[in-house]
Amino acid sequence: MVYYLGLVGIAAFSITGVIAAGKKDMDIFSIVLLGVATALGGGTIRDIIIDANPIFWIADLSYLWVSVGAAVLSFFGVKFVRYVLPLLLYVDALGLSLFTVLATEKTISLGFSNTVAVLMGVTTGIAGGMIRDILTGRMPLLLGREFYATPALLGAILFIILEHFFPLHEFNRVYAIGIIFVLRAFAIQWKLYYPSWLTYVDRK
């Protein structure tokens, strides 16, 4: 099940790459590459940092093909969908939730401390999207007052706590993924912001 959740996350991020390319007048192969970089980028950075060897998508090419397939399908599909851009935020939220929790779990399972696991979870969750945003010249989603990285942090910490009290319980990851997605969906829907004393606005 972890395995299929991972593939769903890969597909979700790959689709966000295609949607994000929408404003850029790109060709299909460059768009697919952008989708693949978005989908595999976060996990690649995680595997390089924790020295997991080989990288996950080299060990199992399914990840690569799913990201290619999702990108190609959404390239053709996206033309028939109106109002595509709001979708980007929700699909991105799905990828964020899945990647954060699965990466936290993988890092723990390789014997790293809880602190490293939480940081790697958050990094994996947000890095793919940041690569996408940098490559397409968008304002990274991270860099706003809206809740973005915070749901990932809370979900990763919740997962660690659940694993502590109910080791290896099969629903731990479902709860953690759920809390991230719900928090993020609330943030998108109601434009949840941090209160101003927890944001830094340059008043010059």
For binding to its own copies (CB under 8 A), which residues are involved?
18, 21-31, 33-34, 36, 44, 48-51, 53-55, 58, 61, 64, 75, 78-79, 85, 112-113, 115-116, 119, 122, 126, 130, 134-137, 139-140, 142-150, 153, 193-194, 198-202, 204
How far is residue 25's CA from residue 45's CA, in Å, rounded to a whole number? 28
Structure tokens at 203: 């008043």
Tokens of residue 99, six digits: 């990647």
CB of 199 to its own copies, least distance (A): 5
Minimum CB–partner distance for residue 66 and its own copies (Å): 13
According to DSSP, the residues that pair with 193 across neighbouring strands are 146
Q: What's the closest the beta carbon of residue 22 comes to its own copies, in angstroms?
A: 4
Residue 17 · residue 38 · CB < 8 Å = yes
Q: How far is the CB of 45 from its own copies (least distance, A)?
A: 9
Query: Which of the 8 DSSP states describes residue 197?
Result: G
* Contact indicator for 36, 71 with CB cutoff of 8 Å: yes
**Nearest to its own copies of 71, 101 (CB atom):** 71
Q: Between residues 11 and 119, which has the closer beta carbon with respect to its own copies?
A: 119
- CB nearer to its own copies: give 110 or 174: 110
Instruction: State which residue, 165 or 197, has the beta carbon closest to its own copies.
Output: 197
At 176, list the tokens.
Answer: 């953690």
196 vs 59: CA distance, rounded Å: 46
